[in-house]
Amino acid sequence: MFRCILVCLLVLAVSCTSKIKKEIPHLQKQGTATQLIVDGKPFLILGGELENSSSSSLEYMKPFWPGIAKTNLNTVLAAISWEQFEPTEGKFDFTLVDGLIKDAREHNLRLILLWFGSWKNGNSRYAADWVKADQKRFPKVLNKNGKTLEILSVFGEETCKADAKAFAALMKHVREIDSEKQTVLMMQVQNEVGVHCDSRDRSVLANEAFVKQVPKELMDYLQNHKETLLPEFLKVWEATGFKTSGTWEEIFGKSPAADEIFMAWNYARYINRVAEAGKTEYPIPMFVNAWLVQPQDKTPGDYPSGGPVVHVHDIWRAGGPQIDILSPDVHLRNSDSILISYSRGRNPIFIPESYSGKQGAANAYLALGQFGSIGYSPFGIEAKKNENIPLSKAYAVLSQLAPLIAEHQGKGTIAATLLKPGYSNPKIKLGNYTIKVELRKTRGSKALPEIGYGIFIAVAPNEFIVAGNDIEVTFAPNASDSIAGLTMVKEGKFINSKWVPERRLNGDEVQLRYDLDIAAMERQSGAGLCFLPEKYSIQRVKLYNYK
């Protein structure tokens, strides 16, 4: 049976790809990074996500496109809802998809479409009306108090089939109208899934599944990957002595953690089927996004239970091989630790939702430079139609640097950092140097900026390209007996990937301190790079060593 399904899928994939004339957007490893390849080269997404209701009307969106384009974005993330796409069962309405693709092209923008199908923020308000209305065919979640929630149950077989059918129709259409120009780069399948207000679904179907044996596929995956499972998950399994067969509670304990693992597996299996149906038509990269555990949350259900949060990543990997990326929606300020946790297990990094202010600009540098991210995208971009906001200035720099960043991602020759008062100053080892980054000091004042950030690329043994904001940067040779002096610092631009120098920086622009004797004891020359908050400059520095 399994072989037969596999053969059918293969035949379908071949017949669908034979209708595609050129290479389509796909993921490719480069060292430790995973990159998105578009038109044969890495494409860094400098994105922005629209508010939830904006893409429901092409008319509404019209005045926003020019402003979005001026924000230096290259990609817009826009929702396509099941309710508008399939208003009557089996009848698909392509008006919005066609219009969004046309309007994005007119403004020289690419798109990532967000499939608001069975779930959006855990609940099911974007499901088609005929799905919502037929509770018998499309069952909903029942919680511990016996209340039915407006959340489609992941155990509804008919629901999964209907969602997959609609998504496949969407992907078939995208292939037909877009596989040549490739405006659509990736798909987000559902949005922030998980059960609210309880650790699991307690409907009849869910209860039946919960007392069954944990599927062999999952147990095989866990045993085969035991060496690389993430510690947060491993400790739950370890607590029951790494049992290899039994019910969910026997293997993962009688606790909300077992409920969450059970939900994560079932969401992953469901969404995997939807993604697979879509990829059979048009196999571009597909990802899911997570509503993260918030500081005040105590138990699954406080945050949507079963969504792709880090402690169940292994379950999602096991259940969702068609899902290419498990993405965090970064609506918390500790973006660095979130990205560290999401980049484990070789999970590619892409941030579909986050901030757009100075923190957003810093997040973009950090994600692309430090975590080999495919891209970055703040939420609600159409409301910020101003080319002077920090994000658009940061994107202007990042789009100049994009080819260089892409060349270096994953190779250990690029780094980025984000600094706040009270953070310990990071020391970055790159090439032959250790780079020290500090928040910029204003002479005669103790006040520090609220945030500073920078990206560092080692382009030659003694040479770096650095871009940053509100930071000071100094270099120390890794050889412990010498000091790094500045041979030359130039500020400039990249135009069509070519470095075009402007000012040669020296004097006040590089002198960070005059206590040269103390500096020498700290193996510093007293000079370094300074990045002002309003400048968004790119500097190229050549170093020499003295003793």
- Among residues 35, 54, 56, 121, the one that binds ligand DGJ under rule CB under 6 A: 121
How do strand 26-30 and strand 41-42 relate by DSSP bridges? unpaired
Q: Which of residues 28 and 57 has its CB atom nearest to ligand DGJ in the complex? A: 57
Residues 164-183 that bind ligand DGJ (CB under 6 A): none
- Among residues 287, 379, 464, 475, the one that binds ligand DGJ under rule CB under 6 A: 379
Torsional sign, CA 275, 280, 281, 286? positive
CA angle 155, 161, 162 (to 5 degrees): 110
Q: Which of residues 119 and 233 has its CB atom nearest to ligand DGJ in the complex? A: 119
Q: CA-CA distance, 213 to 364, in Å (whole number)? A: 44
335 binds ligand DGJ (CB under 6 A): no
DSSP state, 347?
A: P
- Among residues 86, 103, 192, 314, the one that binds ligand DGJ under rule CB under 6 A: 192
Q: CA-CA distance, 364 to 358, in Å (whole number)? A: 10
Q: Which of residues 124 and 191 has its CB atom nearest to ligand DGJ in the complex? A: 191
Going by C-alpha positions, the residue among 338, 329, 335 that lies closest to residue 358 is 335
Q: What token pair was written down for 463?
A: 């040479």
Smallest gap from Cβ 52 to ligand DGJ, in A, equals 5
Q: CA-CA distance, 269 to 250, in Å (whole number)? A: 21
Going by C-alpha positions, the residue among 307, 402, 322 that lies closest to residue 38 is 402
Query: Do residues 49 and 429 make contact, with C-beta atoms less than 8 angstroms apart?
Result: no
Smallest gap from Cβ 121 to ligand DGJ, in A, equals 5
Question: Mask: binding to ligand DGJ, 287-326, rule CB under 6 A, as x and -?
Answer: ----------------------------------------
Smallest gap from Cβ 501 to ligand DGJ, in A, equals 42
Going by C-alpha positions, the residue among 439, 427, 433 that lies closest to residue 460 is 433
The one-letter amino acid at 196? H
272 binds ligand DGJ (CB under 6 A): no
- Among residues 71, 81, 191, 524, the one that binds ligand DGJ under rule CB under 6 A: 191
The one-letter amino acid at 383? A
Q: Which of residues 359 and 462 has its CB atom nearest to ligand DGJ in the complex? A: 359
Q: Which of residues 68 and 229 has its CB atom nearest to ligand DGJ in the complex? A: 68
Smallest gap from Cβ 352 to ligand DGJ, in A, equals 8
* 3-class state of residue 345 by DSSP: helix
Q: CA-CA distance, 264 to 314, in Å (whole number)? A: 10
Using Cβ positions, the residue closest to ligand DGJ within the complex turns out to be 192
Smallest gap from Cβ 355 to ligand DGJ, in A, equals 10
E strands, 139-214, in order? 140-142, 148-152, 184-191
What are the start-end ranges of the H helices in 302-438?
Answer: 313-319, 335-342, 358-370, 390-408
Q: Which of residues 112 and 404 has its CB atom nearest to ligand DGJ in the complex? A: 112
- Burial-class residue 325 by CB neighbours within 10 Å (0-12, 13-18, 19+): buried
52 binds ligand DGJ (CB under 6 A): yes
Q: Which of residues 74 and 121 has its CB atom nearest to ligand DGJ in the complex? A: 121
- Among residues 86, 314, 329, 472, the one that binds ligand DGJ under rule CB under 6 A: 329
Q: Which of residues 290 and 339 has its CB atom nearest to ligand DGJ in the complex? A: 290
Q: Which of residues 74 and 191 has its CB atom nearest to ligand DGJ in the complex? A: 191
Positions that interact with ligand DGJ (CB under 6 A): 52, 121, 191-192, 329, 353, 379
